[in-house]
Structure 1
Amino acid sequence: MITGSKLKAPEGFKGLTKDVEYYFLASDGKANRARLVFFDEKGTTASLLTFSRPEFDLALTNGDLVECGSDPTPPWLKGISGTSVDQLEKDRVRPTKSYDEMVNNRYLAIANLVENSEDILSSDRPESVINAHADQLSPKQVGARLRFWFFTYLVFGRSKWALMPKFDRCGKGKRVQAADGKILGRPPKSGLKSRFPATPEMQASIINGFIKYNDKTKSDAEIFGDVLVGEFGCVPLTTSKGKKKFYQPEGKPFPTKGQYDYYLGQVISTKAYRKARRGPSGARAKSGFIGSFSHDLVNVNQLVEFDGYNPKGKISGLLEGSAMDSACVVRGVCGLSGAVVALGFSENKENMEAYRMALFSMAIRKVKFASLFGLTIREEEWPTYGLPQNIVFDRGPGSTMGVPIRSEAVARGEMMSWLSRLELTPTHSGQSKATVESSHPRTKSDNDQPTHFHSSLNFVEMSKRHILQAIYDNHASDAEGKMTPEMLEGGFSPTPHNIYKFYSDLGYDAGTEVSFDYAVREFLTPHPAHIKRSGVYFYGRKYNSSKLIDTEVFDRIALNGQISVTAYVMTMCVRHIWIELEGVLYELDFVKPASVHPSSVDISLSDLQVLNENRLRGKAQLREEQPAILQDRNAQFLHATGKAWDSGTRRLGRPAKGGAAERDAADQKRLMGKGHD
């Protein structure tokens, strides 16, 4: 069960009202409690209910509490579900305050509560803690309103947009870190003009700079100075009073030490930072007993480790069938159960596309993910879904995942709001991701003469193979070391699939559900596409869907006109694409002519780009050949008839129908009839 799952209870069960939706909020393994929250129909108040873990588990087992689905969208915001908030903001008329400002103000009021949410929900009286925080705010907030915002944010995907006001036409404007360019936080002692707002661009540069210049032989001050010089272009300056300070020659913004430390702490966990700065041995000297890798974990999807590997063997190219390097496979493995919960692919080597595809696969249900590759699986074969609270990446392409990836996302201030911590493993630490490292498939080797295996599969077919391999590993791997006495009493086999299902069915699931539209926009790669009168064209390939046709967009396009749109693509398989039209996403299928071989449907984006280059090259070649072909045709006609192709004269008016014309018609009829005889 993931955060935000809806529960129904029979009448009279432990004070719960019948036919009212309750939402599973959290489970506290230490205090042995489970928390539920109830929102009123109008979406104005929230009430917290607490159960003991035995009572809650027994209620689920006996069917007294029934899970009836989940939805990352609050019920009072159903009217705008599936529509981008950018489009809704454009539809507003003379707004005096943007939705972004409204939502930011609400989130700032609960930001400290969110940061300490685990401690608050583990306390004996969470609502009292929230009320006390409301009294300390300036201006003072109403406790009931603050509780409603806090519980709404936690239940519905940990997204600030769940805090939107209940308007018929809800939307948002340009996302900014500080309203009207003001600097957030306590005024500095050296004056308001001595520092700059921490924009998303500045935060991204802080993280990138730390990753680039981190060196355990240097002090924190040295690394901070390197970041200011290398990333922000600052230079040291001696003031008239003899003090040393940094300044930016072009007047561009740069962070203070406090901003630098704060945003590093927001993205990199204390444990990972300590290891990165002190090294494994130095960090170990400052820490106590760590225990096994899953020792401190209570829920599935609480922590997921990611790593990529390159399977041995060569695959076949699409056009020539030559031996090519195999695809890189990125797996995400649940730290508690050992189940493979995420899968991503990239060509040749590990890159950001593979990690984003892995997060996309984790955010959506696996039946849908497999269908995008043309595979049909059952829900019970791979039931994992939901984004984790904590992820572990190595210092590869995934190390910048906590930073906005696309330029338009930076402009809107979008960060991964569902993510609590991004942990970076230190270098030269082979066991930092032991759970996922041990889950990679193994290939036997020998000391005989070197050989290589040339597979007959292409990139997409190899991806299908690894999807089925992940399902097999979940159902066949031996995870006896993760079994508990309660699991042994259940008598099921010790596989990661069964262990994951055991925890999830009892509510020990920390996954955050997001909508499919959010997953597409957040994790898939945007590319340009064009809507023409006959369909949507993406690198020369035609796509369409019945829902897009129903919008009558094709009727609005002139005969030779087109509309430029953004297409979201899963790079390893372009069987489907998604386009955004007037704020709504549409899933499109490849339009396959009857004469095309079925295998041509499943190709990667790079293969499609190669085919498009060949198509454009062929059209250019045809343009060069057409004049010569026409002249050759004319020459052949002249040789056969002794007359030019366009010989004759053009005269005004219609052709005369006198006696000469009638005699010519009679002669032609007689000759044609004689020829038939």
Structure 2
Amino acid sequence: MIRIGTGSPLAAPQGYKNLFAGHTYYLLRNSPVTEVVTLVRFVQQPAKDVVYKNAKKPKRTITPDPHPIIERMPRDVFEDALGRHIIPAQRRALPPWLEQLSGLDLDSVDSERRDPARTHADRIDQKLLVINPLVQRAEELIDSPDLETRINQHARELTPKQNETRVRLWFFTYLVFGRNRNALFYPIHKIGRWDRLTTVSEVKRGAPGYRGSAHGYNTTKEMHDKIIASYIAEQRLGRTEPEVYVSAMRKHFGCKAREISVGQRRQLEIYHPNGDPFPQEGAYFYHVKRHFEPAAVRTARIGRNRARKTIDPVKGTFSASTWNLMQNVEADAYRVHDLPRGYVEGSDLPPLVVVTKRDTASGRLTGIGFSQGSETGAAYRMATFCESIGLQEFGRLFGLKVKSPGKGLSPTQITDRGPGATSSALPRDASLLPVVREMTPAYSGVSKGLIETSNPKTLKDDEPPSFVRSTLTVAQLARREIFRVLEFNERTDVGSRIDPSLEHLVSRQSPNGVWEALESVGRNDAIQVDFADAVRACLENLPAKLTREGVELAGRNYYSRSPDFQSAMESVGGSRVLDVKVYVLNACTRHIWFDWGGRLIELDVRYPIPVDEEVNYMSLAEAVQYHQHTQASARRFQSHSRAASLDIARDYEAQTGEKWKSGQRTAGRPKRGNLAARREATEAARITAGKRAA
């Protein structure tokens, strides 16, 4: 059903009777007295030039107010045409010339103006005061055949007299648009739209400066173009606005500096030696920011990444586009502040670098990997290994008993453009490669802000340079970082990630709690990986030697009582050595994995003597360092051994007078069978046994 009343916009798409096609008409009254329908159409008049009598005032182009035109139609003709020739048009809250103000809080406009001579509210009240007598008898006036004449007469009788066309416009607009006072608002959105650059003015525009209201120059088209060109040439990253302005004045406007007197003081000012116009700093950047937009100017000054991080509006959270566990995973590395202690002389080793991976949906840290000294692709691969087997199994390899839910790989991985983006950071098994790899822009931490916020923070200070020397070894620091991951997963508040429909399943609003809730309803995209496949795809594959005593790697012996390994050792009997490849967890060499006959065998480190349990958990770097240390010690002891032999031989000869090596080689066999030989042998045995001869 068509609902039409006073103020309804109507259109005649094909034209009808006295109604034109392409125009909007507004219903003023369907009169039961005269049986005539009265419509009004607002005609927007073209812009026109205004020339002031005062020659100093510039010529301006203005847009006149809309012109109201009344159309009438017999009641029965109008009603018969409704729905066929005359149809409803788009309804507006405000008149078409105020459409851009629709939705704004126009009542607050005056509060934002600084010391206005007259408020907009007062202006609208004045309009209402003018048309109020007409509104009081609106029905009578609209039914009158000389409607416009009577309104014009009312405008002339007022003191002071009012413009007749404007009074008609106010009256019809007020009635048509629901007697809304804002329909009489001024088109403030059109203020200042005339082109000042092409309009010459002898009067100085803008707010008066401290040197006088007429001091300075208006900006012309030529000056504006030079401002923009100079800004493009002089603006660089890290350059401040004053630096840009000074450089532009010197290079592009030809300005210089001179000393002037201001009262009792002397100071410098910028001037042009030929008196040519140049912009003040405020005007210069006013036109720059109008041309380039303020956000672009800020970005050019401080850089895109910093602007995005500190100034640009937030475009949403990273978790807004994920709904399943492991749908997206971010990876990043950080350095542990404490320097680990070495086994050799307790020296300070290079810092431990930790790579963590974080699930976007739950906020849970899913994997952790380690490297020493620098960020490496192997550390990312180790984190993927941890993610594949789960934190619980990963902790076992470090001698830890931990509880942590979930395991599996994500089909999507987000890293920066460092080592994590290289091929060395990916699993060797093609079937385990991420389906989607996303690399963030360089130096753009906010592009993977989720994992960045989970990295431990170091407070900066202004004290002299210092470092923290840890009492822990690499493996011990790695253990601590594993527990830090467990702490993060259990104590971080991720309540904002909880789906209201699953809130009853979330036991606690930690990453572990959200993970368990989502996993319980099958919202998990993790790819499950067999332990052996994870070892082969992610861990370092290093050369080692298989002997009949076990596998030798970095000076450490590895052994297993499994039948498969015993079979492997039987294949290298005697002094035979077989070159093999083993899989190693770099951060902890308590275990290695040996591939024999297509089956992966886990080997344990063993020493020929009882050792402290912590020694078993050396990192590969520490094991290599200690092996090199023992080899150097062996070489030093060899030299010591030779010197000791020489010293003892000399001492023997000095004390006994006998030669250290006194025997002579004689051909044939020794004579031991005759009576004299047996008697001498018996006497020698008694002497060496400390017994006297009988």
TM-score for the superposition, normalised by structure 1? 0.53
Q: 2:536 aligns with which of 499, 508, 521?
A: 521
What is the CA distance between 1:448 and its match in structure 2?
A: 5.2
Do the aligned partners of residues 351 and 404 (structure 1) sit closer, same or farther apart at CA in structure 2, a change above 3 Å counting? Answer: closer
Query: Matched residues in 2 for 1:675 and 1:468: separation?
Result: 74
Q: 2:673 aligns with which of 657, 672, 677?
A: 657
Establish whether residue 561 from structure 1 lines up as the match of residue 599 from structure 2.
no
Q: Which residue of 2 aligns with 1:389?
A: 411
Q: 1:611 aligns with which of 626, 637, 643?
A: 626
Query: Matched residues in 2 for 1:673 and 1:316: separation?
Result: 56
Aligned partner of residue 645 in structure 1, secondary structure: coil
Query: Matched residues in 1 for 2:491 and 2:524: separation?
Result: 22
Aligned letter for 1:292?
A: T
**8 Å Cα contact 1:363/1:514 also seen in 2:** yes
Do the aligned partners of residues 423 and 550 (structure 1) sit closer, same or farther apart at CA in structure 2, a change above 3 Å counting? Answer: closer
Establish whether residue 546 from structure 1 lines up as the match of residue 568 from structure 2.
no
What is the CA distance between 1:475 and its match in structure 2?
A: 0.7
Q: Which runs of 5+ in 2 are unaligned?
A: 1-303
Aligned partner of residue 431 in structure 1, secondary structure: helix
Q: Which residue of 2 aligns with 1:475?
A: 490
Q: Which residue of 2 aligns with 1:575?
A: 590
Aligned partner of residue 392 in structure 1, secondary structure: strand
Do the aligned partners of residues 633 and 281 (structure 1) sit closer, same or farther apart at CA in structure 2, a change above 3 Å counting? Answer: closer
Aligned partner of residue 316 in structure 1, secondary structure: coil
Q: Which residue of 2 aligns with 1:312?
A: 337
Q: How does 1:339-418 map to 2 (within 5 A)?
A: 339-377=364-402, 381-401=403-423, 415=430, 417-418=432-433
Query: Matched residues in 1 for 2:462 and 2:683: separation?
Result: 91
Q: How does 1:228-307 map to 2 (within 5 A)?
A: 291-307=316-332
**8 Å Cα contact 1:403/1:415 also seen in 2:** no
Q: How does 1:479-498 map to 2 (within 5 A)?
A: 479-490=494-505, 492-498=507-513
> Rg bigger for which structure?
2
Indicate the larger mover: 622-631 or 479-488.
622-631
Aligned partner of residue 546 in structure 1, secondary structure: coil
Indicate the larger mover: 486-495 or 353-362.
486-495
Q: Which residue of 1 aligns with 2:551?
A: 536
Do the aligned partners of residues 487 and 559 (structure 1) sit closer, same or farther apart at CA in structure 2, a change above 3 Å counting? Answer: same
Q: Which residue of 2 aligns with 1:56?
A: none
Do the aligned partners of residues 394 and 673 (structure 1) sit closer, same or farther apart at CA in structure 2, a change above 3 Å counting? Answer: closer
Query: Matched residues in 2 for 1:427 and 1:584: separation?
Result: 42
What is the CA distance between 1:384 and its match in structure 2?
A: 2.2
Aligned letter for 1:545?
A: S
Do the aligned partners of residues 670 and 448 (structure 1) sit closer, same or farther apart at CA in structure 2, a change above 3 Å counting? Answer: closer
Aligned partner of residue 435 in structure 1, secondary structure: helix
Query: Matched residues in 2 for 1:341 and 1:574: separation?
Result: 22
What is the CA distance between 1:477 and its match in structure 2?
A: 0.8
Q: How does 1:436-451 map to 2 (within 5 A)?
A: 436-447=451-462, 451=466
Query: Matched residues in 2 for 1:401 and 1:382: separation?
Result: 29
Do the aligned partners of residues 529 and 666 (structure 1) sit closer, same or farther apart at CA in structure 2, a change above 3 Å counting? Answer: closer
CA offset digits 1:313-337 (Å, max 9, x no partner)? 3332221223344311111000000
What is the CA distance between 1:635 and its match in structure 2?
A: 3.0
What is the CA distance between 1:549 and its match in structure 2?
A: 5.9
What is the CA distance between 1:569 and its match in structure 2?
A: 1.0
Query: Matched residues in 2 for 1:321 and 1:615: separation?
Result: 15
Q: Which residue of 2 aligns with 1:323?
A: 348
Q: Which residue of 1 aligns with 2:445?
A: 430
What is the CA distance between 1:669 and its match in structure 2?
A: 6.3
Q: Which residue of 2 aligns with 1:333?
A: 358
Q: How does 1:628-639 map to 2 (within 5 A)?
A: 628-639=643-654
Query: Matched residues in 1 for 2:487 and 2:516: separation?
Result: 15
**8 Å Cα contact 1:280/1:426 also seen in 2:** no
Q: Which residue of 1 aligns with 2:31?
A: none
TM-score for the superposition, normalised by structure 2? 0.51
Query: Matched residues in 1 for 2:690 and 2:433: separation?
Result: 85
What is the CA distance between 1:447 and its match in structure 2?
A: 4.6
Query: Matched residues in 1 for 2:564 and 2:650: separation?
Result: 48
What is the CA distance between 1:622 and its match in structure 2?
A: 4.6
Q: Which runs of 5+ in 1 are unaligned?
A: 1-278
**8 Å Cα contact 1:404/1:415 also seen in 2:** no
**8 Å Cα contact 1:402/1:422 also seen in 2:** no
Aligned letter for 2:675?
A: G
Q: RMSD over aligned Cα, in angstroms?
A: 3.2
Do the aligned partners of residues 673 and 511 (structure 1) sit closer, same or farther apart at CA in structure 2, a change above 3 Å counting? Answer: closer
Query: Matched residues in 1 for 2:637 and 2:424: separation?
Result: 48
What is the CA distance between 1:445 and its match in structure 2?
A: 4.6
**8 Å Cα contact 1:315/1:456 also seen in 2:** yes
What is the CA distance between 1:636 and its match in structure 2?
A: 3.2
Indicate the larger mover: 584-593 or 503-512.
584-593
Aligned partner of residue 323 in structure 1, secondary structure: coil
Do the aligned partners of residues 303 and 477 (structure 1) sit closer, same or farther apart at CA in structure 2, a change above 3 Å counting? Answer: same
Aligned letter for 2:336?
A: P
What is the CA distance between 1:546 and its match in structure 2?
A: 1.3
**8 Å Cα contact 1:301/1:511 also seen in 2:** yes
Query: Matched residues in 2 for 1:491 and 1:336: separation?
Result: 14
Q: How does 1:169-208 map to 2 (within 5 A)?
A: none
Do the aligned partners of residues 510 and 676 (structure 1) sit closer, same or farther apart at CA in structure 2, a change above 3 Å counting? Answer: farther
Query: Matched residues in 1 for 2:536 and 2:565: separation?
Result: 23
Do the aligned partners of residues 675 and 496 (structure 1) sit closer, same or farther apart at CA in structure 2, a change above 3 Å counting? Answer: farther
Query: Matched residues in 1 for 2:480 and 2:459: separation?
Result: 19
Query: Matched residues in 1 for 2:442 and 2:555: separation?
Result: 44
Aligned letter for 1:652?
A: G
What is the CA distance between 1:304 and its match in structure 2?
A: 0.5
Aligned letter for 2:679?
A: R
Q: 1:589 aligns with which of 604, 620, 631?
A: 604
Do the aligned partners of residues 663 and 323 (structure 1) sit closer, same or farther apart at CA in structure 2, a change above 3 Å counting? Answer: closer
What is the CA distance between 1:483 and its match in structure 2?
A: 1.6
Q: Which residue of 1 aligns with 2:165?
A: none
Do the aligned partners of residues 460 and 336 (structure 1) sit closer, same or farther apart at CA in structure 2, a change above 3 Å counting? Answer: same
Q: Which residue of 2 aligns with 1:462?
A: 477
